[in-house]
Amino acid sequence: MAAANVVEITDANFESEVTNSETPVLVDFWATWCQPCLMLSPTIDALATEFAGKVKIGKVNIDQNRQLPVKYRVGAIPTLMIFKGGQLVDTVQGAQSKDRLTALLNKHL
């Protein structure tokens, strides 16, 4: 479901894609049955293009990857988390506007 410039993040590759990333990473926790997640998807894809080379954008399907939502206490979806230097630095829940997410990402560059 991820666009070409959006990384599919899994329980198995989280460390290499997020923890060890040299750039900030926006992680979108989502599921196929979640309407707000599906509505947010085009915004996430647009941000991946807009922030290419500056921020890595990734998606975690919570139905296929059970460890990460538990580890990061994802209680509702969509949940968006920003990691920088391998550390969680920001979290927002629910569908967000592109402007809000752009401002959030710029804050962590």
By annotation, the residues acting in catalysis are: 34, 37
CB 77 within 8 A of CB 101: no
Region of 30 please: left (phi>0), alpha (psi -120 to 50) or beta. beta
Report how far residue 96's alpha carbon sits from residue 80's, in angstroms, rounded to the nearest whole number: 9
What's the CA gap between 50 and 104, in Å, rounded? 14
